[in-house]
């Protein structure tokens, strides 16, 4: 039985982390939390499970250079740059085609590039169990995060009865996937104890994925078939991708496959997890001062509390007499934003893009 494979999706824009995060060097390529880029941390977490040549990274053309810089330990051909973004179903189908050409029955995990997980051993244990489950039966395995608050920014997965016990871990049948709920509904989900956050971590075999795509997303499958055929004939991937990719259906893997399939199971996670979706989340991973301020780089807060202050390049940023601010300084842009308005940063980025010279800030 062959080793499993890892596919890391690393194409996100990370707009809520502007001005540190930019189009060519977004969140996953930055040490937002920790000393290494989040993508590097993701690769390091899976290296004890699979050899380097079984790890693939799918990114965008604009981010390819930056991704290659932080993925020096992987084979060059394992960094795949999509000619244009066509959402996650296309990326998963592409990964299945590439791995299938190498190992027709290969089992692979699809993982986000930009999550923060500190307990690597528990993460690896859960991932191994998910691989075992996907090898044992033709199922789609999702790793569910047990919610610790009624978050409205995540999709949820409802578990049903126990499917199997794998490596001493209970794996459950999935009743349904639900989209981001309102606060009242989220509170009900958390109270029930039967819902998990959908963290976008999936494990399945090439045949299971390709069968589901053919059944539930035939339009997407038609384009992917052209890529599979080209690879089967020994043709190079990049030319066929440039021709086919713009024609692929743009749809998420959740909508296209998971919400329609009846062979999905959920493995509850045992590791810590944070998707660090915006600046306020970063503060959870640093020790604050006595007034609750979190600083990184050359920063100083005087008579202020609960501020998040980041500075690059040795430039001193001082906050005096202010509370609950996000202040981020980079070499060409500075952000000042109330913490409770952090979700509006994405809207500000759109306005920046409309400036005459806005491109250099993005």
First to last CA, the chain: 45
Q: What is the pLDDT at residue 357? A: 59
The pLDDT value recorded for residue 1 is 54
Q: What is the pLDDT of residue 359?
A: 60
Region 229-253 average pLDDT:
95
The pLDDT tens digits of the residues spanning 266-318 come to 999 999 999 998 999 999 999 999 999 999 999 999 999 999 999 998 999 99
Q: At what angle do helices 218-232 and 237-244 cross, to 10 degrees?
A: 160
In the chain, list all ranges with CATH 3.90.550.10. 5-268
pLDDT at 197 > cutoff 90:
yes
Please state, rounded to an integer, the average pLDDT across all residues of the chain: 94
Using a pLDDT cut of 70, give the percent of the chain over it.
98
Q: With bands split at pLDDT 50, 70 and 90, how would you rate the model's confidence at 262?
A: very high
- Distance, CA of 147 to CA of 273 (rounded, Å): 10
Residue 13 has pLDDT above 90, yes or no: no
Mean pLDDT value across residues 122-140: 97
- The arithmetic mean of pLDDT across residues 186-199, rounded, is 96
**More confident site: 58 or 355:** 58
**Average pLDDT of the segment spanning 153-171:** 96
Q: What is the mean pLDDT of residues 2-31?
A: 91
Is it the case that residue 362 has pLDDT exceeding 80?
Answer: no
Preceding amide of 19 cis, omega within 30: yes
| More confident call, 332 vs 362 | 332
Q: What is the mean pLDDT of residues 331-356?
A: 89
d(CA 362, CA 358): 7
Using pLDDT thresholds of 50, 70 and 90, give the confidence band for residue 358: low
**Per-residue pLDDT averaged across 206-214, rounded?**
98
CATH architecture of 5-268: Alpha-Beta Complex (3.90)
pLDDT grade for 39, boundaries at 50, 70 and 90: very high
Specify the pLDDT at position 3. 83
Is residue 350 packed enough to be buried (19+ CB in 10 Å), middle (13-18) or exposed (0-12)? Answer: exposed
DSSP 178-243: E-PPPHHHHHHHHHHT-EEEEEEEEEEEHHHHHHHHHHH-HHHHHHHHHHHHHHHTT--HHHHHHH
**pLDDT value for 155:** 94
pLDDT higher than threshold 90 for residue 11: no
**For the segment 57-113, what is each residue's pLDDT rounded down to a tens digit?**
999 999 999 999 999 999 999 999 999 999 999 999 999 999 999 999 999 999 999
pLDDT at 356: 53
pTM above threshold 0.75: yes
> Residue 23 has what pLDDT?
86
pLDDT of 221 above 90: yes
């Amino acid at each position: 039985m062959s080793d499993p494979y890892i596919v890391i999706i690393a194409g996100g824009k990370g707009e809520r982390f502007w001005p540190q995060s930019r189009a060519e060097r977004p969140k996953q390529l930055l040490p937002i939390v920790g000393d290494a880029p989040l993508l590097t941390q993701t690769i390091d977490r899976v290296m004890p499970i699979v050899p380097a040549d079984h790890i693939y990274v799918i990114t965008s053309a604009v981010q390819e250079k930056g991704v290659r810089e932080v993925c020096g330990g992987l084979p060059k051909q394992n960094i795949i740059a999509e000619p244009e973004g066509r959402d996650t179903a296309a990326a998963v189908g592409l990964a299945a085609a590439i791995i299938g050409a190498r190992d027709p029955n290969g089992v692979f995990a699809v993982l986000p590039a930009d999550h923060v997980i500190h307990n690597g051993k528990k993460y690896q244990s859960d991932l191994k169990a998910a691989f075992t489950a996907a090898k044992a039966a033709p199922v789609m395995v999702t790793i569910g995060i047990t919610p610790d608050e009624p978050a409205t920014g995540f999709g949820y997965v409802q578990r049903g009865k126990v499917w199997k016990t794998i490596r001493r871990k209970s794996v459950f049948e999935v009743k349904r996937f639900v989209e981001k709920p309102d606060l009242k509904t989220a509170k009900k989900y958390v109270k029930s104890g039967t819902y998990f956050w959908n963290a976008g971590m999936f494990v399945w075999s090439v045949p299971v994925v390709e069968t589901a795509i053919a059944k539930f997303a035939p339009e997407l499958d038609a384009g992917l078939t052209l890529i599979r055929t080209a690879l089967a004939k020994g043709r190079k991937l990049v030319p066929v991708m440039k021709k086919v990719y713009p024609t692929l259906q743009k749809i998420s893997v959740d909508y296209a496959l998971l919400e329609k399939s009846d062979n999905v199971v959920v493995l509850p996670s045992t590791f810590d997890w944070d998707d660090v979706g915006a600046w306020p989340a970063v503060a959870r991973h640093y020790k604050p001062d006595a007034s609750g301020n979190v600083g990184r780089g050359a920063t100083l807060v005087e008579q202020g509390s609960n501020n998040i202050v980041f500075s690059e390049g040795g430039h001193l940023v001082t906050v005096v007499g202010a509370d609950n601010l996000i202040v981020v300084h980079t070499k060409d842009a500075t952000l000042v934003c109330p913490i409770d308005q952090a979700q509006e940063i994405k809207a500000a980025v759109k306005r920046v893009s409309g400036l005459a010279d806005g491109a250099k800030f993005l």
